Amino acid sequence: MANIASQRIKREFKEVIRSEEVARCSIKVELLDDNYSQLKGEIAGPPDTPYEGGKFLLEIKVPETYPFNPPKVKFLTKVWHPNISSVTGAICLDILKDQWAAAMTLRTVLLSLQALMASPEPDDPQDAVVARQYKGFPEIFISTAEHWTNIYAGGSRKKEEYSKKIERLMGIGCNMDQALVALSGCNWDLDKAIEQIFG
C-alpha cells in the first residue's frame, strides 16, 4: 500500500512542478520528508476575490492508503472564509471527504481549493461565524477577508478603520490575533469585541 502511495506522490510531484499553474505561480508543492508523506502546498489567492494577492500555505499529509483515501489538508495561513476554520485552518470540502476519487491528484486538490476560495459554500460551513457574516453582511465579509489576506498572506488591500480598531484593542492588552478574531466575529463593533474578550 505504502508503495503505491509514495510512487504516486513522486509522480504527482513532478506533475505539479511541470504544470502550467506553477508556471503562472498559482500553485506550488514542496516535499518535507524523504518518504513522501508530508508536503507543503501553496496556492495563490484567486483574482477578483478578497484573497487576491495573497499566498496561502497548506499542510498536506498523505495517508498510507493514498490514493484510495484522500490526503489530509489544512490551511497553515490564517484565512477568513466560510468553509475554512478561522482558528484551526480545517477545510470543509467534499473531495477531501466522501467525494474523493482515487484518480484525483494533489494538483486537482489544490485547484479545487482555489476554486473553493473563489466561490464559498456558506450553507455547508466549517466556520459558522464567518458563514453568518458572509450571508448577512456581504460587504463586511469582503473587507474582513481582505484585511486578513493583508495581515497573514501578504495581500495589499486593507482598511485603515480596521487597523485602528485592532490597535485600540492591542493598546488595552490584547494580542493581534485575538483582537482580529474578536473584531471580525463582531462585524467590527468595538464594544462587542471588548465585551467578548473581557466579558
State CA 41 to chain mean position distance. Answer: 11
CB of 1 to another protein, least distance (A): 6
Shortest distance in whole angstroms from residue 116 CB to another protein:
16
| Helices vs. strands in the chain: H and E counts, helices first | 8, 4
Q: What residue ranges bind another protein (CB under 8 A)?
A: 1, 4, 7-8, 11, 65, 67-69, 101-104, 108
Residue 31, beta-bridge partner list: 39
Query: Is residue 92 annotated as part of the catalytic site, yes or no?
Result: yes
160-171 and 176-185 are packed helices; what angle lies between their axes, rounded to 10 degrees? 120
**Angle, in degrees to the nearest 10, between helices 176-185 and 138-148:** 170
Smallest distance from another protein to CB 94, Å: 11
Residue among 25, 92, 174, 186 flagged as catalytic: 92
**Cβ within 8 Å of residue 89, ≥6 positions away:** 59, 74, 75, 76, 77, 78, 79
C-beta closer to another protein: residue 67 or 125: 67
Q: Which of 7/163 has CB closer to another protein?
A: 7
Q: Is the CB of 87 or the CB of 115 nearer to another protein?
A: 115
**Which residues form the catalytic set?**
92
